[in-house]
Amino acid sequence: MKYGFIGCGNMGSALAGALSRITTDIAVCDRNPEKAKALAEKYKLQATDLQEVCESCERIFLAIKPQGLDKLADDIYDIIVKNRPVIITMLAGVNTATVGRLFSEELPVIRIMPNTPVGVGEGVVLYCGNAFADEALINDFLNDMQFAGSLIKLDEELIDAGCAVSGCGPAYMYMMADAVAAAGEKCGIERNTAVRLAALTMLGSARMMLESEKSPEQLKTDVCSPGGSTIEGVKVLKNASFKDTVSSAVEAAYRRNRELGGN
């Protein structure tokens, strides 16, 4: 098979779904076989076991938590070294050199850092490859991943930082949306409508950032008419050190990524 997934959790499922729009030549496995079965049924893939994925797939996604990598490598080392598949890792903090050390230094390794919106085709997928992942392989992989969202090449030493921004980022955006919606609810708007308004506002604001030439700071200022209502809300956020707090959150995620990779 062309692709295999080890792990059918949040990220593995979302990526397998995006990939299935190009090819269903995909085998999936999970420690919990029911998860693999449900994913395979949803996208017409093949549910199988770890051994079979490693034996039959040309390109294998590692979609488990970083903490489980050493044990997994022990379990599949012999088959990987024999079959030499391309390894596609999305494990936070784990770099291509570590994957090479665990299996074989000369294995082609593509490192990606996706986020959960790949599940709706609007993800950010950062990527880089080691010296054995040649241009033809990377281009074919990017073509297969086109329905995941925006595919952005980043130097490997920046992937941990990118992960803290775009990999973890959806959580911060959801927290912001939840807070805005909760306030809307307090002011009398029904919950579902308030969440929808918050989500659509994020979507439109994101488009403005991408399509206008203006900085986020300038776009914010454009909303703040003097003597108006937005400026009152912005003052509250400034007094609560909003920017520093969010920056600290992203930096904490970055530090954790470094720790997970043993740095």
Which residues contribute to the site for ligand NAP (CB under 6 A)?
6-12, 29-32, 35, 50, 63-66, 68, 72, 90-92, 113-116, 167
Do strands 109-113 and 3-6 pair parallel, antiparallel, or not at all (unpaired)?
unpaired
The minimum distance between CB 47 and ligand NAP, in angstroms, equals 12
The minimum distance between CB 156 and ligand NAP, in angstroms, equals 15
Q: What residue number has its CB nearest to ligand NAP?
A: 9
The minimum distance between CB 213 and ligand NAP, in angstroms, equals 30
Looking at the Cβ atoms of 36 and 195, the one nearer to ligand NAP is: 36
Contact 129, 108 (CB under 8 A): yes
Looking at the Cβ atoms of 53 and 180, the one nearer to ligand NAP is: 53
Which helix (H) or strand (E) segment holds residue 26: the answer is strand 26-29
Looking at the Cβ atoms of 54 and 107, the one nearer to ligand NAP is: 54
Token pair, residue 239, equals 């007094």
The minimum distance between CB 111 and ligand NAP, in angstroms, equals 11
Distance CA 36, CA 48 (A): 7
Tokens 């000369």 found at:
106
| Cβ-Cβ contacts under 8 Å for 163 (sequence gap 6 or more) | 92, 93, 113, 126, 253, 254, 257
The minimum distance between CB 46 and ligand NAP, in angstroms, equals 15
Looking at the Cβ atoms of 21 and 31, the one nearer to ligand NAP is: 31
Distance CA 214, CA 212 (A): 5
Looking at the Cβ atoms of 195 and 253, the one nearer to ligand NAP is: 253
- DSSP track, 48-109: --HHHHHHH-SEEEE-S-GGGHHHHHHHHHHHHHHH-PEEEE--TT--HHHHHHHS-TTS-E
